[in-house]
């Protein structure tokens, strides 16, 4: 008799990229622009993807544009400064007003009108959440405070946090991250706490890192939430 093996069904993926647009990020923004379209195409051809980008727009300097226009893609236009990427994403996750989850109130995340609550109605409750930060600096919002907000606004949902960040350098600017402003300790801790991936923001070619992240995202989408 023929054996019928069950097919894996991809779980929807809701992804957010937050790009540091400060003046030291020219090369890093260029790496994102170079790899973004092929990265997105790889995932959306294999999984049910919705993707949001929080970044200053542009095709040069530190700006990044979304390579596609579709209801499944959302560009939240905002210049992201060196230290505030997690706080801006937290603001986008939190509803406003008295009914906001307590961690949103405790961390005072609102007050940025161009990002406040912008992701509340974009996400799907059945989708895996993947957040990717790109920055050469450190976050002023701690790993725990960001996770508290994410878990309160996305209760019971699978959350993975990855990043292209500074991995540290010695006093004479040797590897691993000679280009960094500060080591991204909070981002590394967020990734460790959520089974995410960390990549070196100072790598001269990001294609392999983008490929790894795309493949891991698709693999995760075939696993039950």
What is the full DSSP assignment across 96-147?
A: PSTTS-HHHHHTT----TTTTTTTTTTS-TTSEEEEEEE-SS--SS-HHHHH
Residue 111's CB: how many other CB atoms inside 10 A?
Answer: 10
Residue 108 structure tokens: 């005072």
pLDDT of residue 6: 43
Q: Is the pLDDT of residue 9 over 80?
A: no
Q: What are phi and psi of 123, to 5 degrees?
A: -80, 160
Mean pLDDT of 194-208: 97
Q: Is the pLDDT of residue 174 over 80?
A: no
pLDDT of residue 5: 39
> pTM for the complete prediction?
0.94
Q: Is the pLDDT of residue 140 over 70?
A: yes
Lowest-confidence range among 11-25, 40-54, 101-115, 160-174? 160-174
Query: For residue 222, what pLDDT band results from cuts at 50, 70 and 90?
Result: confident
């Amino acid at each position: 008799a023929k054996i019928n093996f069950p097919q894996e069904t991809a779980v929807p993926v809701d992804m957010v990229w937050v790009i540091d647009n400060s003046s030291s990020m020219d090369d890093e923004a260029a790496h994102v622009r170079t790899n973004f379209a092929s990265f997105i195409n790889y995932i959306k051809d294999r999984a049910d993807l919705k993707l949001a980008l929080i970044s200053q727009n542009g095709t040069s300097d530190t700006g990044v544009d979304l390579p596609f226009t579709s209801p499944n893609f959302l560009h939240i236009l905002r210049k992201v400064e060196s230290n505030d990427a997690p706080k801006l994403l937290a603001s986008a996750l939190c509803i406003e007003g008295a009914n906001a989850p307590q961690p949103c109130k405790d961390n005072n995340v609102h007050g940025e009108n161009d990002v406040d609550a912008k992701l509340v109605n974009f996400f799907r409750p059945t989708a895996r959440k993947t957040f990717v930060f790109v920055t050469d600096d450190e976050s002023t919002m701690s790993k725990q405070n960001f996770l508290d907000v994410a878990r309160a606004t996305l209760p019971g949902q699978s959350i993975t946090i990855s990043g292209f960040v500074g991995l540290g350098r010695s006093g004479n600017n040797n590897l691993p991250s000679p280009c960094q402003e500060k080591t991204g300790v909070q981002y590394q801790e967020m990734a460790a706490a959520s089974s995410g991936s960390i990549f070196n923001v100072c790598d001269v070619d990001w294609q392999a890192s983008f490929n790894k992240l795309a493949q891991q995202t698709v693999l995760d989408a075939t696993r039950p939430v």
